[in-house]
């Protein structure tokens, strides 16, 4: 099996996920400034999720670029990743309708954490399929960012029930971890 | 006509179907654990449908790979398949809104059964177009899995009215039939 | 400009239109047979629209295949066609919510008639761009089917206000006109 | 990184945005002519937005055609552009539900103005990545249309609060600025 069609299919699903999130948002209930500022938290959650899904797309692109052989395990690990990403619009809507309830805030971390695990599984399946000595195995290295993200989600999910701002700060931290150019972060994490 | 564009179009439609199913789900009505557990059945139905559509995508990929000649019959058989797959999000929503009513549970089987027939028709149209001696004809063989799936749906649809759990168990059985790696199942079915 | 990207973009838009129509349908309000039969007319309208959009996709495919040069006029004629096709889900929803009101039934004909004009414009723009002596100009010929479709829509739109079944029968007639294999119909129309 | 996948992803997102806008529109509340004419303003806003997004797609196509090298900055500038375009369906819905409230009318200009900035940023990132002497740098020139559009949006946004028809006229003016064939406009702007 070739990686081309998997890549195209993933692109299609990600393009849809990133776009339909906006369908889930309630518009301001009238034309006042107060109504607009009520909508701000969910718009910011949307912007953050847009960046998160964009990061997955970007990383997925690099992952697929480093391989051209895939097998059934890669395909199902990839579908597992897409499944959790597809729940992002669902959680966004829940956050919106419940006014950022603790349970919905925790669910955001669970969904993104499971997506991170899905990404990890896809990466490992590709390495297993191409051999431990391949370019990808070397490029991925110890994958500190991935492990740090998972750890942050693991802290954020229970934090959502006791200290919501902490959970939200941790979600933002994961985004920044990936957005800030690689070398400095990796050196910081490795030291 | 070339199979490339049909493949790309099918990928696009399947990517959309698999993603918009989530738009149909009602979010938990509040942030309590009870509300989340009320949502669980439909989330599981979503997950199962995600796997089902993923299986069709995967199988369709293999089907298209074995041919490069298609004709008008292949195209319309394929559209017939896509039509029934496009009703999956509709049935998911019906299941959700009716609280898994018997009629909606039966409709799930009808829609997936018709999709299975659509897949069968596409397969036959491709074989007819490439000749009975082609690689695809040999690869498909007697297509025991396809026939077993159809038989299970035929039992599940009436069962939905008398014994809903049986119908649901049969739907899960079809998914497992396809998910479990090929050789063992096929040997079991053939013996 | 190359036709490849226009073709891919059109495929994407058509794949989305054909799939989101189902999002517009109201599910049966309960699990009874009566509720299901109330839903039947709109499901049939959905099926007919699915075939209609599928026909456009199929014909568009042939159109693009006969050319590789396109210009700005082709692009905008094509966007005009996509605009009207994108209103099909809107009209389907209107038909559903108004219970097939005369105005909505007429609107269905207006939208599909304008799409037919858009297709005609795209065809002419491609011929103008490739020269009257090109393969496409000969293949299209006098385009009797296109003209007959437009004439049927012109009769169906006013008929929707006085005799709705006649309008609906004419919509079905246009679909059959395109579905039935070419040669016989064209001979019938030419004689 | 190659421009091909970025182009395909952008096409996918734009195809979805242009199509789901129609999901946001409320259908006429009954089958009367009055109900249809109540729907007209939002249908026209939809048509204008369809043209706007179509223009971005068309221009993006030319931009990507002039380059084959992209880097991380191009990718994120492009995602910034897509983010703002993805808010167009949101603003359309807000316009619809608030009956073209001043705030929503202003938001339309903010969203399209930010998209114009995103396009500008993408253009600059591509030039920076390919060198100031490249074909693109020469082709873009002083980009008078882009600057004029931004200026018009800057006037239109505050105008929405004091003189809504002026704001709407300015939005239409930007569309015409881009729709009317290039040379004449550019000469007029340069003189």
pLDDT digits (tens, 9 = 90+) for D143-163: 778 888 999 999 999 999 999
For residue A179, the model assigns a pLDDT of 80
Lowest mean pLDDT among C46-50, C58-62, D36-40: C58-62
The pLDDT of residue C141 is above 70? no
In this prediction, what percent of chain A has a pLDDT beyond 90? Answer: 36
Of C10, C22, C181, which to mutate for an interface test with B (greatest number of B Cβ within 10 Å)? C22
Of D23, D28, D54, which has the smallest distance from its Cβ to C79's Cβ? D54
- Among D54, D58, B5, D178, which Cα is nearest to C1's? D58
**What is each CA distance from D37 to C103, C106, D24, in whole angstroms?**
12, 15, 18
| A120 is a domain residue | yes
- What ranges in chain C are assigned the alpha helix state H? 3-20, 33-65, 72-86, 88-98, 102-130, 135-140, 144-162, 164-179, 182-190
- Among A128, D173, B152, B13, which Cα is nearest to C22's? B13
Cα–Cα distance, D26 to C187 (Å, whole number)? 44
- Chain A residues interacting with chain D (CB cutoff of 8 angstroms): 7-8, 11-12, 14-16, 18-23, 25, 27-28, 30-33, 35-36, 47, 50-51, 54, 57-58, 61, 65, 181
The pLDDT of residue A51 is above 60? yes
Could you read off the pLDDT of B108-128 as tens digits, one per residue?
A: 999 999 999 999 899 888 888
Contacts of D8 in chain C (CB under 8 A): 8
Would you give the distance in Å from CA C54 to the centre of its chain? 8
What the block records as the tokens of B39 is 């949502």
- Chain B residues interacting with chain C (CB cutoff of 8 angstroms): 1, 5, 8-9, 12-13, 16-17, 20, 23-24, 72, 75-76, 79, 82-83, 86-87, 89-90, 93-94, 97-98, 101-104, 107
Q: Are C22 and B90 in contact (CB under 8 A)?
A: yes
**DSSP bridge partners of D69:** D2
3-state helix, strand, coil in chain D (%, to 5): 85, 0, 15
Which phi and psi angles does B69 have, rounded to 5°? -105, 125
Contacts of C49 in chain B (CB under 8 A): none
The pLDDT of residue A157 is above 90? yes
Around A85, how many Cα atoms within 13 Å sit in the side-chain half-sphere? 32
For residue B185, the model assigns a pLDDT of 47
Chains meeting A at 3+ CB pairs closer than 8 A?
Answer: B, D
Cα first-last separation, chain D: 40
Residue D122 buriedness (CB in 10 A; 0-12 / 13-18 / 19+): buried
- Chain D residues interacting with chain C (CB cutoff of 8 angstroms): 7-8, 11-12, 14-16, 18-23, 25, 27-28, 30-33, 35-36, 47, 50-51, 54, 57-58, 61, 181
For residue A108, the model assigns a pLDDT of 94
pLDDT band per the 50, 70, 90 thresholds, residue C183: low
The sign of the CA dihedral A105, A108, A110, A116 is negative
Give the 3-state secondary structure of residue C69.
strand
Lowest mean pLDDT among B163-167, C49-53, C181-185: C181-185
Could you read off the pLDDT of C52-95 as tens digits, one per residue?
A: 998 888 888 777 776 767 777 888 899 999 999 999 999 998 99
Cα–Cα distance, B63 to B50 (Å, whole number)? 20
Is C12 in contact with D11 (Cβ distance < 8 A)?
Answer: yes
Is B103 in contact with C16 (Cβ distance < 8 A)?
Answer: no
Supply the DSSP string of A7-19, one letter for each residue: HHHHHHHHHHHHH
- What ranges in D21-143 are assigned the alpha helix state H? 33-65, 72-86, 88-98, 102-130, 135-140
Residue D184 buriedness (CB in 10 A; 0-12 / 13-18 / 19+): exposed
Is B19 in contact with A13 (Cβ distance < 8 A)?
Answer: yes
The pLDDT of residue C151 is above 80? yes
Greatest mean pLDDT range, B130-134, C119-123, D33-37, D114-118: D114-118
The pLDDT of residue C119 is above 60? yes
The contacts of residue C82 (CB under 8 Å, 6+ apart) are C10, C13, C14, C118, D18
Contacts of C93 in chain D (CB under 8 A): 27
D120-144 average pLDDT score: 75
Q: Are C1 and C76 in contact (CB under 8 A)?
A: no
Is C13 in contact with D15 (Cβ distance < 8 A)?
Answer: yes
The contacts of residue A80 (CB under 8 Å, 6+ apart) are A118, A121, A122
Beta-carbon pairs below 8 A across chains A and B:
69
For residue B181, the model assigns a pLDDT of 61
- Chain A residues interacting with chain B (CB cutoff of 8 angstroms): 1, 5, 8-9, 12-13, 16-17, 20, 23-24, 72, 75-76, 79, 82-83, 86-87, 89-90, 93-94, 97-98, 101-104, 107
- What ranges in B25-163 are assigned the alpha helix state H? 33-65, 72-86, 88-98, 102-130, 135-140, 144-162
Domain extent at residue A44: 3-140
pLDDT band per the 50, 70, 90 thresholds, residue D8: confident
For residue D185, the model assigns a pLDDT of 47
C107-124 average pLDDT score: 92
Could you read off the pLDDT of A2-48 as tens digits, one per residue?
A: 677 788 888 889 988 988 888 878 888 877 888 888 888 889 989 99
What the block records as the tokens of A144 is 């500190």
For residue D190, the model assigns a pLDDT of 55
Cα–Cα distance, C128 to C125 (Å, whole number)? 5
Is D31 in contact with C104 (Cβ distance < 8 A)?
Answer: yes
Is A98 in contact with B19 (Cβ distance < 8 A)?
Answer: no
Average predicted confidence (pLDDT) for chain C: 84
Higher pLDDT among residues B187 and D133, named by residue: D133
Is B102 in contact with C31 (Cβ distance < 8 A)?
Answer: yes
For residue D2, the model assigns a pLDDT of 67
3-state helix, strand, coil in chain A (%, to 5): 85, 0, 15
Question: Mind telling me how many Å the CA of B22 is from chain A's nearest CA?
Answer: 6
The contacts of residue C27 (CB under 8 Å, 6+ apart) are B90, B93, B94, B97, B98, B104, C39
Lowest mean pLDDT among A20-24, B116-120, C138-142, D96-100: C138-142
Give the 3-state secondary structure of residue B1.
coil
Supply the DSSP string of A24-77, one letter for each residue: GSPPPSSSSHHHHHHHHHHHHHHHHHHHHHHHHHHHHHHHHHT-SB--HHHHHH
The pLDDT of residue C144 is above 70? yes
Q: Identify the closest residue of chain C to B9 by CA–CA distance.
A: C11
For residue B86, the model assigns a pLDDT of 92
Higher pLDDT among residues C132 and A88, named by residue: A88
Residues lower than pLDDT 50 in chain B: 185
Question: Mind telling me how many Å the CA of B162 is from chain A's nearest CA?
Answer: 32
The pLDDT of residue C12 is above 80? yes
For residue C185, the model assigns a pLDDT of 47
Question: Mind telling me how many Å the CA of C68 is from chain D's nearest CA?
Answer: 16
Chains meeting D at 3+ CB pairs closer than 8 A?
Answer: A, C
For residue D136, the model assigns a pLDDT of 67
The pLDDT of residue D66 is above 80? no
Residue A141: which region, alpha, beta or left (left: phi > 0; alpha: psi -120 to 50)? left
Q: Are A128 and A118 in contact (CB under 8 A)?
A: no
What value does the CA radius of gyration of chain B take, rounded to a whole number of Å? 18
Total domains in chain A come to 1
Residue A92 buriedness (CB in 10 A; 0-12 / 13-18 / 19+): buried
Taking the whole predicted model, whether its pTM rises above 0.95 is answered as no
| A164 is a domain residue | no
């Amino acid at each position: 099996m070739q990686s081309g069609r998997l890549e195209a299919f993933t692109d299609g699903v990600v393009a849809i996920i990133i776009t339909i999130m906006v369908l889930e948002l309630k518009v301001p209930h009238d034309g006042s400034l107060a109504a607009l500022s009520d909508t701000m938290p969910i718009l910011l959650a949307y912007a953050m999720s847009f960046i998160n899904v964009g990061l997955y797309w970007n990383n997925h692109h690099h992952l697929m670029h480093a391989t051209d052989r895939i097998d059934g395990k890669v395909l199902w690990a990839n579908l597992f990743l897409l499944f959790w990403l597809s729940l992002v619009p669902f959680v966004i809507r829940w956050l919106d309708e419940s006014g950022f309830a603790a349970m919905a805030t925790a669910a955001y971390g669970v969904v993104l954490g499971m997506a991170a695990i899905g990404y990890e599984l896809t990466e490992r399946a590709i390495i297993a399929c191409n051999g431990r000595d391949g370019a990808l195995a070397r490029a991925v290295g110890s994958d500190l960012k991935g492990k740090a993200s998972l750890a942050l989600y693991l802290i954020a999910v229970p934090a959502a029930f006791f200290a919501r701002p902490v959970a939200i700060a941790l979600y933002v931290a994961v985004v920044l971890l990936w957005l800030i150019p690689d070398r400095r972060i990796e050196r910081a994490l490795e030291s």
